[in-house]
Amino acid sequence: MGNLIEQIRTAIPFDTPIEKLCNGPCTGCSKKLMDYLDMELEEKETLLATGHHPSLGEINRLKKTALKIYSVLTQNGLIESPDNQR
């Protein structure tokens, strides 16, 4: 779970200025999605720090949530599509 959280924090641009988040049409509110994901990650980090051992289901749900949000952020132009990074 710790590795997954680290990968998510690296892949998602949480430090993006609000001006860039809310610039033009979007598919879902990028700011709200990133705020939600940040809260989820903080909750999981707190649980890990208290000795909680997550189940595979918990890890999978976090992964699915992060992938969906990553996809929306890519559609909104906040993350460069992996196909265009060549």
Length of the chain: 86
Query: For 21-77, how does the pLDDT look when each residue is reduced to its tens digit (9 = 90+)?
Result: 777 777 788 899 999 999 999 999 999 999 999 999 999 999 999 999 999 999 888
Model pLDDT, residue 47: 96
Model pLDDT, residue 80: 83
Q: Tell the burial category of 9 from Cβ atoms under 10 Å away from its Cβ (0-12, 13-18, 19+).
A: middle
**pTM for this predicted structure:** 0.87
**Cα distances (Å, whole numbers) of residue 25 to 22, 56, 75:** 8, 36, 10
| pLDDT at residue 86 greater than cutoff 60 | no
8 Å CB contact between 12 and 37: yes
